[in-house]
Amino acid sequence: MSTILVTGGGRGLGRATAEKLARSGHHVVLHARRAEAADAAAAAIRAASPGAQVTPHAADLSTMGAVRSLAGELLAAHERLDAVLHVAGVMQQSETRRLTADGYEETLAVNALAPFLLTGLLLPALERSPAARVVNVSSRLHLPDSRGPSVDLDLDDPMLERGYGPDRAYKNSKLAVLWVTYEQARRLAGGAVTANAVCPGFVPLTASDSAHGAKRLFMRTILVRMPFAVSVDEATDSFVFMATDPSLDGASGGFYGERHPIESSPESHDAAKAARFWALAERLTGFAWPA
Ligand SMILES: NC(=O)c1ccc[n+]([C@@H]2O[C@H](COP(=O)([O-])OP(=O)(O)OC[C@H]3O[C@@H](n4cnc5c(N)ncnc54)[C@H](OP(=O)(O)O)[C@@H]3O)[C@@H](O)[C@H]2O)c1
């Protein structure tokens, strides 16, 4: 039995992934933003699968202080972690830039900086596993030809003080996740911890949770039926595969979708940009990756 941390486990893909993992006998460390959501999800999973081992934890991942507190709590409660699945993520709907209490653009903070920091702080628990996996959730939306405004991460303006838009912020954050993943894989090479990224595909049902009004209805009734739509079951199968499938033993530095490797953009493989973002992430989170 593995001990697997799933962030964003209170609802959406994180919640469904936590349930699948617990049902198949893993000890799930279930994170949600609020304690009530974590407790409710854990209780519901236990009720549906008697004997399931689920331990709830809560933290708002938008501030680095809260990520640090969560990591401290997790390290105290769980000596070893066999996988960390960073599912929590935000897709803003507001056209207005939102700043966190740290003064960071919220999408970058939650989607890229929080997983970067949490993984770094949890390394001691991951390194106690004979083979641990870091799974970062990215998106094909980081590809330059994806719908809407192109990804455009200006490392001199990572907080989008100029030219903010919710889609741009989301795409940038998912490119940053790939830079972090590939750099983590380089730094972890030769050890027992691997790092990979995954795109669950377009899941209108859970994505619609952050939409409102007619857009939400359209996603829930029309888009869910489209051939390109991915079901919650398929998407969570991808996440479970990343965290547990033996075929990935030792595999690191990859990007996956639908349980097979997929291509990420040429820019995501730009090691110089990855190194610049890494240095920025270290500065913004105040965490220096161990040498
Ligand atoms: N759905 C898609 O089509 C799609 C496609 C590609 C990639 N993804 C990625 O897959 C992941 C899951 O997506 P989803 O569709 O399940 O999204 P979702 O239904 O919107 O769920 C997002 C999860 O992240 C949590 N979260 C957001 N901000 C947080 C914060 N500040 N602190 C703690 N938790 C926070 C939410 O908790 P609350 O309940 O507290 O808000 C929720 O559990 C995300 O990383 C997303 O970017 C999704």
Measured distance CA(115)–CA(123) in Å, rounded: 12
The domain limits of the chain are 3-200+231-285
So what's the pLDDT on residue 209? Answer: 86
Q: Is 138 an annotated catalytic residue?
A: yes
Return the CATH class of domain 3-200+231-285: alpha beta
Q: Is the pLDDT of residue 42 over 90?
A: yes
Residues paired with residue 85 on neighbouring β-strands, in sequence order = 6, 135
C-alpha radius of gyration, the chain, whole number: 18
Residue 1, pLDDT above cutoff 90: no
Ligand 1, residues 11, 15, 219: which to mutate, most atoms within 8 A of Cβ?
A: 11
Helix (H) or strand (E) holding 217: helix 213-221
Amino acid residing at 118:
L
Antiparallel, parallel or unpaired: β 27-32 and 132-137 = unpaired
Instruction: Give the mutation target among 6, 87, 136 for probing the ligand 1 site: most ligand atoms within 8 A of CB.
Output: 87
Q: How far apart are CA 174 and CA 60, in angstroms?
A: 19
- What does pLDDT average to over the chain? 96
Atom of ligand 1 nearest to the CA of 91: 47
CA-based nearest residue to 161, from 97, 112, 100: 97
pLDDT tens sequence across 135-168: 999 999 999 999 888 899 999 999 999 999 999 9
Number of H helices, E strands in the chain: 10, 8
The pLDDT of 174-200, averaged and rounded, is: 98
Q: Which helix (H) or strand (E) holds 116?
A: helix 114-126
- Does 227 have pLDDT greater than 90? no
Residue nearest to atom 33 of ligand 1 (CA): 33
SS3 198: strand
Tell me if 57 sits within 8 A of 31, measured CB to CB: yes
**Position 107 pLDDT exceeds 90:** yes
Based on the number of CB atoms within 10 Å of its own CB, is 162 exposed (0-12), middle (13-18) or buried (19 or more)? exposed
The C-alpha atoms of residue 43 and residue 50 are separated, in whole angstroms, by 10
Q: What pLDDT was estimated at residue 43?
A: 98
In the reported structure, the alpha carbon of residue 15 is separated from the centroid of ligand 1 by a whole-number distance in angstroms of: 10
- For the segment 97-114, the average pLDDT, to the nearest whole number, is 98
Ligand 1: residues within 6 Å at CB? Answer: 8, 10-14, 33, 37, 60-62, 87-91, 110, 137, 139, 199-200, 202-203, 206-207, 209-210
pLDDT tens figures, 63-84: 999 999 999 999 999 999 999 9
How far, in Å, from the CA of 173 to the mean position of ligand 1?
Answer: 13
Please determine, for residue 173, whether its predicted confidence score (pLDDT) is greater than 90: yes
pLDDT of 210 over the 90 cut: no
Q: Which two tokens stand for residue 277?
A: 């973002």
Q: Phi and psi for 236 in degrees, rounded to 5?
A: -75, -25
pLDDT of residue 218: 87
100 pLDDT more than 90:
yes
CA distance 14 to 85: 9
Closest ligand 1 atom, residue 89 Cα:
45
- pLDDT of amino acid 159: 98
What is the spatial distance between Cα 88 and Cα 200, in angstroms, rounded to a whole number?
13
44-71 mean pLDDT: 97
184 vs 117: CA distance, rounded Å: 12
pTM, two decimals, is 0.97
pLDDT of residue 249: 97
The alpha carbon of 90 and the centre of ligand 1 are apart by a number of angstroms equal to 5
